Amino acid sequence: MFIADSPFVSLCLHLSLVICMVGLIFKGVTWFQHQINTGGERFPAGIRVLAAVRGGVGVLFGPKLIDLVKIFFLDVLLNRRVLKEDFWRWLMHMLIYVGFTLLVLTHALGAVIMPRFFPGYASTVVPYIYLRNLFGVAVLAGLAIALYRRWTIPGMRVTTGDQDRYVLIILAIIMISGFLMEATKIVSHARYDEMVAQYGDTVTSDVDKESLRAYWANDFGVIFPEPGVTADAAGMRRGEELHQMNCAGCHSKPDWAFVSYGVAKKIRPAALGLTSAGVAIWLWYVHVLACLVGLAYLPFSKFFHMVAGPISLLVNGIMARGKTDPANVATRRIMEFDACTRCGTCSVRCSVNVIFWEMHNLTILPSEKLKALKSLAFNRPLTEKELRIIQEGSHICTGCHRCTDVCPVGINLQDLWLSMNDLLELKGFPEPAVSARQFVADHYTQKDDAREIIVLPDHGVFQQELSSSIQAPTFWSCYRCQTCTNACPVVANCQDPVAELGLLPHQIMHALALGLKDEALAAGMTWDCLTCYMCQEYCPQGVHVADVLYELRNMAYRDFRAGFALPKT
């Protein structure tokens, strides 16, 4: 049978500590090594480290120290930003964060920490046995809220990834195995025999042994293999006396462990089988190894936000825009990738998240956009199709700043989106409208002399293709009076409008009526329109000229997306 001080567990402990420390160092190094290269100045790691040190010293010995302390207590410890956004999410976070932290301090490290503050500490006495269950219930309640939110909120369900699942699974295994382990110990006669052998110095006679066993069977719920472990009133009083002399100092009644004791009562019929199979020991191994796996996994998983998140809150809280050393800005941007908790709040609150349900491009959502930017910043290999998908999602943003405002760890997402657009442009993937215009230039041709082309107009073709807007088919009402062209500021600012724009607004309406789709799409006017709507305001026929041009661009972009097999709308 395995024992608690197994060399195997000791080896796993030291191995997980080494992996965790190496991972933490590796993460710290990446903050200063990588940079979102947008064509600006590159800062070597040494310069960025010095800049970070200078900035830290300046804060610690400057007026911003008060702000730093305020942010630490209100935002890091009390999660003020989360509370302002969503009470249930705040409650979930506090239950998991506070509950697990207190379990680590009072249970995992209890033998080291607790005796320093509470002499005579024993994990199986009141109030510690009660508090351990209370903290465990808090964590499980937090996990239940997390699962419910991720399952019921559409934006969070879509953005839930493997890392989110792994974290929830590891925490659930730790908590559930802990309760089950304690429950099996409560009913285990083998555990009782070990305790008596080690501490029952005064329990020597067979009568005393029988009395103490009867007392523990009655008051502590231990299931013994011998039938009829009972005692009369005198025997029970003797058992209680022996308990007070030998056991009470380190064992309170298990009903204080309100969850574990409740489970223990449920498993009593199988208690003897569980004890003989050594289930308590196996559960102990599951519990401890799950904790060690979580420790080793910490730097490489969502768990790492416990380190990077507070740093992000503190750094973004004191960084002054436009006055911060650019080297520190470069470091902060990389650090923010690790600070992200993948909570999905930014995606749920995003002004344009509704577009995702039409285009099914995950990089429209801020949390997924951040993942894509990390791949770009770390120069991970991406196919052209993947880059096209990122290109599309990165520019579907209104710049409303809502994602940054609701981020619980204070990530400056708006700054990252601007950097992302610059980086994509450097890689040859500019704003989708620019790529679509180039696609049109490569795939559609404008005839030199449209008068040589005879096309019988199909009155249903463009009404069908321009069906995205009910105003678009109004081009049929155009009788080419040129009022829209005369009112257009784009035309007015061209020295030679026909040479520069290809077709003028009234000519595009006429081309559509003739069924000349290629000519209309290839015209520069279609793409240079400012959408000022002056053409529509002055049109005597009520033709929605600007809307028609909008729909032509949408049509071209649909062809562009199809050309690269992007997600279907």
Asked if the domains 323-430 and 446-563 are classified in one and the same CATH topology, the answer is yes
What is the average per-residue pLDDT within 150-167? 83
Length of the chain: 569
Distance, in Å, from the CA atom of 94 to the CA atom of 82, rounded to the nearest integer, reads 10
DSSP 122-177: -TTSTTHHHHHHHHHHHHHHHHHHHHHHHHH-HHHHHH--HHHHHHHHHHHHHHHH
pLDDT band at 123, cuts 50/70/90? confident
pTM above 0.85, yes or no: no
At 552, the amino acid letter reads L
The answer, yes or no, to whether residue 559 has pLDDT greater than 90, is: no
Q: Mapping DSSP to helix (H, G, I), strand (E, B) and coil, where does residue 300 land? A: helix
Position with higher pLDDT, 378 vs 158: 378
Least confident of 60-69, 148-157, 214-223: 148-157
- Quote the Cα angle for 252-254-258, to 5°: 125
Position with higher pLDDT, 357 vs 184: 184
How many separate helices (H) and strands (E) can be counted in the chain?
33, 0
DSSP 370-409: HHHHHHHHTT----HHHHHHHHHHHH------HHHHH-TT
Least confident of 164-168, 297-301, 395-399, 450-454: 450-454
What is the average per-residue pLDDT within 136-164? 88
Q: What is the pLDDT of residue 456?
A: 43
What is the average per-residue pLDDT within 438-458? 58
The pLDDT tens digits of the residues spanning 271-295 come to 999 999 999 999 999 999 999 999 9
Question: Are the CB atoms for 220 and 264 separated by under 8 Å?
Answer: no
Q: What is the pLDDT of residue 411?
A: 92
Say which CATH class 323-430 falls into: mainly alpha
Q: What is the pLDDT of residue 248?
A: 82
CATH code, 446-563: 1.10.1060
The answer, yes or no, to whether residue 457 has pLDDT greater than 50, is: no
Provide the residue ranges of all domains of the chain, joining segments of one domain with +.
Answer: 65-160, 187-283, 323-430, 446-563
The pLDDT tens digits of the residues spanning 14-48 come to 999 999 999 999 999 999 999 988 777 889 999 99
Distance, in Å, from the CA atom of 68 to the CA atom of 62, rounded to the nearest integer, reads 10
Beta bridge partners of 223: 188
The pLDDT tens digits of the residues spanning 494-523 come to 999 989 998 999 999 888 888 787 888 889
45-60 vs 64-71: helix axis angle to the nearest 10?
90
Distance, in Å, from the CA atom of 139 to the CA atom of 178, rounded to the nearest integer, reads 12
Question: Which candidate, 64, 73, 68, 136, places its Cα nearest to that of 100?
Answer: 136
